[in-house]
Chain A
Amino acid sequence: MKNIILRIMLVVLGLALFFFLLVQSTKLDFQIHSDYVSDLRQLGEIDARINQTILQLRTGTLKNYDSIVYYLKQHENTVANLAKIPQPLRVEYAKTVEMLLKKYQKIFTEKSQLIENFKTENALVRNSLAYLPIAIGNAVNESDTFRDGKLGNQLSQLLRDILIYNLSVSDELLAEISQEIQRIYQRVEKLGSEHSNLNIALVHSQII
């Protein structure tokens, strides 16, 4: 009976050795594989953080651009790491990974460009939004004609519509605001004289 147990043990050991050698012959370096998978996961996480940061900046809960710069840099470094494809990977797989990475980088370059545009425009919009009520107030008080006349009402309506538009973007409202601005410009042209406060208010309206 001992012989039989010994034989079974030998078979099991043989099997274990076979599987061990099989795994060794096909496996990637454990650490390299682990790092690569970790970088892939991290890429997704950083992208999510970038999206989150953009929303925070848009809503004003985040007040500076350092974090978006930080995450974009982190993203760039991670993509650079991923471009170093682990050597033991089979050629056809390496080519597929390389191709996918190139596609991803192309899309992300476009996204980065949009993020830069967003940063630039968001800075302007936040400034103009904060100032617009004061600018409209200054414009209305610039002359008695404005304060008491139809232009004063038009400016108040413009301010209200722009503030609503900021909370709830709508193409219809945007078209209406553009028309309001044009109507005010036409009215000012008819009045003829120089109205610097009114011009500043209208420029800030157009920025928003």
Chain B
Amino acid sequence: MLNWKENSFIITILSLVILIIVTGLAIAWSNLQSQISVAKNSGNYESLMISDEPIQPIPLKLDLDENKVLLGKKLFNDPILSQNRQLSCASCHNLKTGGVDGKNLAQGVNGELSATNTLTVFNSAFNFRQHWTGEYKDLLEQVNAHLLAPQIMGGDWSKILAGLKKDPQYVRGFTQAYSDGITQENVRDAIATFEKSLYTANSRFDQYLRGNTEALTEAEKEGYQIFKTYGCVTCHQGMNIGGNLFQKFGILGNYFVDRGQINPADLGRFNVTGDPKDLYVFRVPSLRNVALTGPYLHDGSAGSLEEAIVIMAQYQLRPISSEHIQLIVQFLKTLTGEYEGQAL
């Protein structure tokens, strides 16, 4: 039998051991939780790649808030956002014509011509920055700038919000989608969310990348090989076949001197950074749905795919034969995808 001194000593030791174990477990749990959190948050992008090719297919389905998408769609098509209430986002980004207006230069509010050609709104969410010069870091910034720019929509937030608050449909829609209702941030977010929904998956080329070798004809496959061989793919790569880097326009020659009438928009990213290295530098445009998005180049000077390819070959790559141009055109036509289950 143990005496009381021994008993109390054992009990004290046991109590202390329990305290230490509990503390140790708490610390271990804390470390485990933070490690689990790191593992959850840091995905390895390479594991998401579907094809070994430099171009990746667009995901077949993206998860987006349906309420916000519907609200954004209504806003996108509503001229209430513009100064004269005659122009909507869809006026220039017509979804029935590849997300562009088909004009050389975009036409803003009061008929004023923009400095650059309209870029397609389809798949714009996949671009690493927005607009020709990459001046907007994301769609939210781009939406805001274009709504307010005097030469584009010329909008005014106080008037836009007042107009939206008078419309019961908008009041209901915003209440459903956002806890704080109609605000500048929410208007921007709704439009940007709708734009994120404008992805065009399942083009014939994407089907090919996913393993359906019958999706392309032999000529189209050859066109893709030529597209790679000529080096087009060094800039037009990734999921959006462009849109993920800046590049100087005029590597082998001076396009702007040859074209003449150089204007401020030709200076490209220099207008954003003021850095001489950024003279004539532009964000490489996406080639998704390119067969539908002419005229081409920032100045809208190339009326056809053939013309655009000739200019690219002459100023960026190397001389190209007309036979190869035709094969590349055939390949580019396979990049037309689907929106809401229908071919564009």
Pick the contact of B15: A9, A46, A73, A207 (CB < 8 A).
Answer: A9
A64 contacts B7, C-beta separation under 8 Å: no
The proximity string for A residues 176-208 relative to B, scoring 1 for CB distances below 8 Å and 0 otherwise, is 000000000000000000001000100100010
The proximity string for A residues 29-54 relative to B, scoring 1 for CB distances below 8 Å and 0 otherwise, is 01001110111011001100100000
B34 contacts A41, C-beta separation under 8 Å: yes
Of A102-110, A118-126, A148-156, the one contacting chain B is: A118-126
For residue B165, give the distance in angstroms from its CB to the closest CB of chain A: 30
Cβ of B128 < 8 Å from any Cβ of A?
Answer: yes
Interchain CA distance A66-B238 in the complex, whole Å: 6
Residues of A contacting B233 in the complex (Cβ-Cβ under 8 angstroms) = 63
Interchain CA distance A126-B235 in the complex, whole Å: 10
Residues of B contacting A200 in the complex (Cβ-Cβ under 8 angstroms) = 252, 318-319
B53 contacts A63, C-beta separation under 8 Å: yes
Chain A's interface: helix, strand, loop or mixed, by majority? helix
Pick the contact of A8: B12, B37, B248, B251 (CB < 8 A).
Answer: B12
Cβ of A141 < 8 Å from any Cβ of B?
Answer: no
Pick the contact of B42: A16, A42, A124 (CB < 8 A).
Answer: A42
For residue B25, give the distance in angstroms from its CB to the closest CB of chain A: 13
The proximity string for A residues 63-99 relative to B, scoring 1 for CB distances below 8 Å and 0 otherwise, is 1111101110110001000000000000000000000
Residues of B contacting A35 in the complex (Cβ-Cβ under 8 angstroms) = 34, 37
Cβ of A12 < 8 Å from any Cβ of B?
Answer: yes
B34 contacts A4, C-beta separation under 8 Å: no
For residue B266, give the distance in angstroms from its CB to the closest CB of chain A: 18
Cβ of A142 < 8 Å from any Cβ of B?
Answer: no
Interchain CA distance A16-B20 in the complex, whole Å: 11
CB-CB under 8 A for A45 and B7, given A64-B237, A131-B231: no
Cβ of A130 < 8 Å from any Cβ of B?
Answer: yes
Interchain CA distance A5-B11 in the complex, whole Å: 8
Residues of A contacting B244 in the complex (Cβ-Cβ under 8 angstroms) = 64-66, 69, 119
Residues of B contacting A116 in the complex (Cβ-Cβ under 8 angstroms) = 245-246
A38 contacts B238, C-beta separation under 8 Å: no
Cβ of B303 < 8 Å from any Cβ of A?
Answer: no
Interface size class of A (residues with CB under 8 A): 35 or more
With CB as the reference atom, state the residue of chain B lying closest to A122: B234
Cβ of B19 < 8 Å from any Cβ of A?
Answer: yes
With CB as the reference atom, state the residue of chain A lying closest to B30: A34
State which residues 109-140 of A face B: CB under 8 Å.
116-117, 119-120, 123-124, 126-127, 130-131, 135
Cβ of B54 < 8 Å from any Cβ of A?
Answer: yes
For residue B125, give the distance in angstroms from its CB to the closest CB of chain A: 12
For residue B29, give the distance in angstroms from its CB to the closest CB of chain A: 9
CB-CB under 8 A for A12 and B12, given A65-B245, A119-B246: yes
The proximity string for B residues 43-79 relative to A, scoring 1 for CB distances below 8 Å and 0 otherwise, is 0111001001111100000000000000000000000
Cβ of B33 < 8 Å from any Cβ of A?
Answer: yes
Cβ of A169 < 8 Å from any Cβ of B?
Answer: no
Best-surrounded residue of A41, A64, A65, A69 (most CB of chain B within 10 A): A64
Interchain CA distance A123-B234 in the complex, whole Å: 5
Which residues of chain B have a CB within 8 Å of any CB of chain A? 4, 7-8, 11-12, 15-16, 19, 30, 33-35, 37-38, 41-42, 44-46, 49, 52-56, 128, 229, 231, 233-235, 237-239, 244-248, 251-252, 277, 281, 317-319
A-B contact pairs, 11 of them (CB 8 A): A5-B4, A5-B8, A12-B19, A15-B19, A42-B42, A62-B46, A69-B238, A69-B244, A120-B248, A123-B247, A196-B319
The 9 closest A-B pairs by CB, nearest first: A127-B231, A38-B37, A63-B54, A1-B4, A64-B238, A64-B237, A67-B45, A66-B238, A12-B15
Apart from A67-B49, A123-B234, list 11 A-B contacts with CB within 8 A: A5-B8, A12-B12, A15-B19, A38-B37, A63-B53, A65-B237, A66-B239, A119-B244, A120-B247, A120-B248, A123-B247
